[in-house]
Amino acid sequence: MKADLELLASLAKRRGFAFPSAEIYGGFSSTYDYGPLGAEMKRNIRDSWWRRMVQSRDDVVGIEAAIITNPAVWVASGHVGGFTDPLVDCLECQSRVRADHIENNTCPVCKAVGRFTEERKFNLMFRTFVGPVQDEAATAYLRPETAQGMFVNFENVQTTMRRRLPFGIAQIGKSFRNEITPGQFIFRTREFEQMEMEFFCHPEQSLEWHTYWKQERMAWYQTLGFHPDHLRLRDHATEELAHYSQATSDVEYLFPWGWGELEGVAHRGDFDLKAHSTGSGKSLTYFDQEKNEHIVPHVIEPAVGVDRLMFALMCEAYDEETDEKGETRVVLRFAPSIAPVTVAILPLSRNERLTPKAREVWDLLRPEFRTQFDDAQSIGRRYRRQDEIGTPLCVTVDFDSLDDEAVTIRERDSMEQVRVPISGLVAALRERIDALTPKAS
Q: What is the pTM of this model?
A: 0.92
Domain 341-436, CATH among 3.40.50.1440, 3.40.50.800, 3.30.160.100, 3.30.565.10: 3.40.50.800
Domain boundaries, the chain: 5-69+144-314, 341-436
Amino acid letter, residue 89 = D
Residue pLDDT, tens place only, 263-321? 999 999 999 999 999 999 999 999 988 888 999 999 999 999 999 999 999 999 999 98
Residue pLDDT, tens place only, 166-222? 999 999 999 999 887 777 898 999 999 999 999 999 999 999 999 999 999 999 999
Q: What CA–CA distance (Å, rounded) separates 151 from 65? A: 10
Do β-strands 343-347 and 371-373 pair in parallel, antiparallel, or remain unpaired? parallel
Mean per-residue pLDDT over the chain, rounded: 92
Contacts 24+ apart (CB under 8 A), 280-284: 280/72, 280/76, 280/152, 282/155, 284/151, 284/154, 284/155
Query: According to the model, what pLDDT value does residue 434 have?
Result: 95
User: Three-state SS for 357?
Assistant: helix
Q: What are phi and psi of 164, to 5 degrees?
A: -110, 150
Q: Using N-to-C axis directions, what is the helix angle for 306-317 and 5-15, rounded to 10°?
A: 100
Burial, 187: exposed, middle or buried (Cβ in 10 Å; 0-12, 13-18, 19+)? buried
Burial, 340: exposed, middle or buried (Cβ in 10 Å; 0-12, 13-18, 19+)? buried
Residue pLDDT, tens place only, 130-147? 988 888 888 999 999 999
Query: According to the model, what pLDDT value does residue 326 have?
Result: 81
Q: What is the assigned CATH class of domain 5-69+144-314?
A: alpha beta
Residue pLDDT, tens place only, 397-407? 999 999 999 99
Query: According to the model, what pLDDT value does residue 379 have?
Result: 93
Q: What CA–CA distance (Å, rounded) separates 61 from 55? A: 8
Q: What CA–CA distance (Å, rounded) separates 342 from 46? A: 17
Residue pLDDT, tens place only, 247-269? 899 999 999 999 999 999 999 99
Contact 314, 390 (CB under 8 A): no
Tell me: pLDDT of 125 over 80.
Answer: yes
- Interval 147-159 mean pLDDT: 96
